[in-house]
């Protein structure tokens, strides 16, 4: 009987393939090839800054931890920010060094307007910030506040997502975080009447303070 439709031809081909399986040996095939390679002419810091800024993120470079305290204090004063929420003890110490007031009690969480967190790593090729549920700030803070501040170190830079997952696997081994979030620019959508809206399902603004720790012995 002659097949009358293209659908029947496709189904027949599928059935035939299932019955007569290929004997080809793919055991030596490379299933993990490098698709992207880091450019030799620029550093990961520069590549991340360029891609992060292109996504409307605000990038600030700090040569040392004390620079963060000074620059962040100046930004808070300039933007007149209040209700800064931070759970990370190390960041809290830097905020205190800059005389920046913050809240950290769970009962004050809903007051949070500016959230300050660390991250797991930074992905230079996509300009993304990788966060996880295993961080002190948890899974809520990076997406709840109107403004998200991330503090990161140059040693946390990786080239692509593949490198990020390798880093996390090495760090957590079998006790992997229950949630990973790749933050690639501020929250925005144009689903409603093609009108661009920022902060629809996350922060309207994202700042990344990168502290250079590569020279520390």
In-domain check, residue 128: yes
Residue 2 has which token pair? Answer: 């002659």
Write down the pLDDT at residue 69. 96
In-domain check, residue 129: yes
In-domain check, residue 157: yes
| Total count of domains within the chain | 1
CA dihedral 104, 132, 67, 110 (to 10 degrees): -30
In-domain check, residue 152: yes
Q: Are 48 and 121 in contact (CB under 8 A)?
A: no
In-domain check, residue 32: no
Write down the pLDDT at residue 138. 85
Write down the pLDDT at residue 87. 94
Give the predicted TM-score (pTM) of the model. Answer: 0.80
pLDDT digits (tens, 9 = 90+) for 18-70: 777 667 666 666 666 677 777 777 899 999 999 999 999 999 999 998 999 99
Q: Which CATH number does the domain housing residue 156 bear? A: 3.40.50.10420
In-domain check, residue 53: yes
Q: Are 174 and 151 in contact (CB under 8 A)?
A: no
Residue 159 has which token pair? Answer: 């080239």
- Those residues of the chain that have pLDDT short of 50 are 1
In-domain check, residue 108: yes
Q: Are 34 and 59 in contact (CB under 8 A)?
A: no
Plot region of 80 (φ>0 → left; ψ -120 to 50 → alpha; else → beta):
left
In-domain check, residue 2: no
Q: Which domain holds residue 52?
A: 43-211
């Amino acid at each position: 009987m002659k097949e009358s439709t293209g659908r029947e031809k496709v189904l027949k081909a599928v059935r035939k393939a299932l019955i007569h399986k290929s004997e080809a040996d793919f055991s030596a095939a490379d299933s993990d090839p490098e698709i992207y390679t880091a450019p030799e002419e620029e550093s990961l810091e520069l590549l991340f800054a360029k891609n992060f800024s292109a996504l409307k993120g605000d990038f600030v470079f700090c040569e040392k931890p004390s620079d963060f305290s000074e620059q962040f204090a100046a930004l808070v004063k300039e933007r007149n920010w209040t209700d800064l929420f931070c759970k990370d003890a190390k960041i809290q110490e830097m905020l205190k060094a800059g005389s920046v007031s913050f809240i950290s009690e769970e009962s004050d969480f809903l007051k949070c307007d500016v959230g300050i967190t660390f991250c797991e790593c930074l992905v230079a090729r996509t300009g993304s910030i990788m966060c996880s549920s295993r961080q002190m700030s948890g899974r809520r803070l990076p997406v709840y506040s109107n403004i998200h501040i991330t503090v990161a170190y140059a040693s946390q830079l990786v080239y692509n997502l593949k490198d990020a997952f390798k880093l996390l696997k090495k760090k957590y081994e079998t006790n992997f975080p229950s949630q990973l979030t790749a933050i690639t620019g501020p929250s925005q959508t144009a689903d409603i009447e093609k009108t661009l809206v920022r902060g629809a399902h996350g922060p309207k603004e994202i700042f990344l303070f990168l502290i250079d720790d590569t020279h520390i012995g």
